Amino acid sequence: MDQVNGSVVTEFVLLELAQSLAMQFLLFLFFSLFYVGIILGNLFIVFTVIFDSRLHSPMYILLANLSLVDLGLSSTTVPRMISDLFSDCKTISFYNCMIQMFFIHLMGGAEMVLLIVMAYDRYIAICKPLHYLTIMNLKMCMTLILAAWIAGMIHAVSQFVFVINLPFCGSNNVGSFYCDFPRVIKLACMETYRLEFVVIANSGFISMGTFFFLIVSYIFILVTVRKHSSNDLSKAFFTLSAHITVVVLFFTPCMFLYLWPFPTKSLDKFFAIVDFVVTPVLNPAIYTLRNRDMKVAMRRLSRQVVSSREMT
């Protein structure tokens, strides 16, 4: 098959999220509020961790990096979702569509590995507390964070190389409000079974495998915590349940979007919104509301900001 000049599709059409003006307005409010919450909440975590030297431990450095990834992940889709709500033609150019897919998977892949790293960090802290400082030193922490970004890069590139050269010549209706591999591949004018399998394996199986791995790891850590019950028990339990909540929230939509063989538009929409809008705003809430150190640090930071403003 000649693929060189096959691409005649120069833009894709995205799905309309709401038909009625009232619904558009409601969604506009909802998404805008959440997106502002995502930006403020996650940036607040990042700055709290950076400026409070008491939080310069691997757990909080990882948390701040997770906040950055969350911020990036929702920025791949939410601003466009908001601006598309009121526009009549919901088209996205071929290259913007490719870029959007690439960044979704770069951020998504990095987030996945970061969640594994955070579980590993808790495993060492709780199951090997005496070796924690030697194993999770700053260098190790930096290496693992770098590994998360490299893994995200490999994950995104490995799908991207297949899609960028596909011939698109027929329908250009993505059938979703953002571009993603499973939907876009279906539009190519050629047999795509094999490619669909690549996408399912690369996104679906990986997210399912990671999910079960993480859940089993956390159960293991929880069992260990119970065995060595000390007064740290409730603190560890809160931290771990926060991590587990985030894992479930992030992976359930992923598994559905990439593995469920019978996509339905309404469920698709719902799960995508959970991953891009709800989870990124819940992360800061979950971590800060349940974490005493974080709350104390945030209060300290806001006091400093207020008092420095009073001085100037």
Are 187 and 168 in contact, with CB atoms under 8 Å apart? yes
Which position among 17, 46, 113, 117 is part of the footprint of ligand NAG (CB under 6 A)?
A: 46
Residues in 144-163 that interact with ligand NAG by CB under 6 A = 145
Could you say which DSSP state residue 115 is in? H
Residues in 50-69 that interact with ligand NAG by CB under 6 A = 50, 61, 64-65, 68
Are 212 and 116 in contact, with CB atoms under 8 Å apart? no
Is residue 49 a contact residue for ligand NAG (CB under 6 A)? yes
- Least Å distance, CB 147 to ligand NAG, is 11
Is residue 298 a contact residue for ligand NAG (CB under 6 A)? no
241 is written with which tokens?
């349940």
Is residue 141 a contact residue for ligand NAG (CB under 6 A)? yes
Is residue 208 a contact residue for ligand NAG (CB under 6 A)? no
Binding segment for ligand NAG among 30-38, 138-146, 162-170, 224-232 (CB under 6 A)? Answer: 138-146
Q: Give strand ranges (E) for the chain.
A: 11-13, 91-93
Nearer to ligand NAG, 64 or 225 (CB): 64
297 is written with which tokens?
């640090």
Residues in 224-243 that interact with ligand NAG by CB under 6 A = none
d(CA 89, CA 274): 25
SS (H, E, C) 53-106: HHHCCHHHHHHHHHHHHHHHHHHCCHHHHHHHHCCCCCEEEHHHHHHHHHHHHH
Nearer to ligand NAG, 151 or 185 (CB): 151
Is residue 142 a contact residue for ligand NAG (CB under 6 A)? yes
3-state secondary structure of 52: coil
Nearer to ligand NAG, 49 or 244 (CB): 49
> Interface residues with ligand NAG (CB under 6 A)?
46, 49-50, 61, 64-65, 68, 141-142, 145
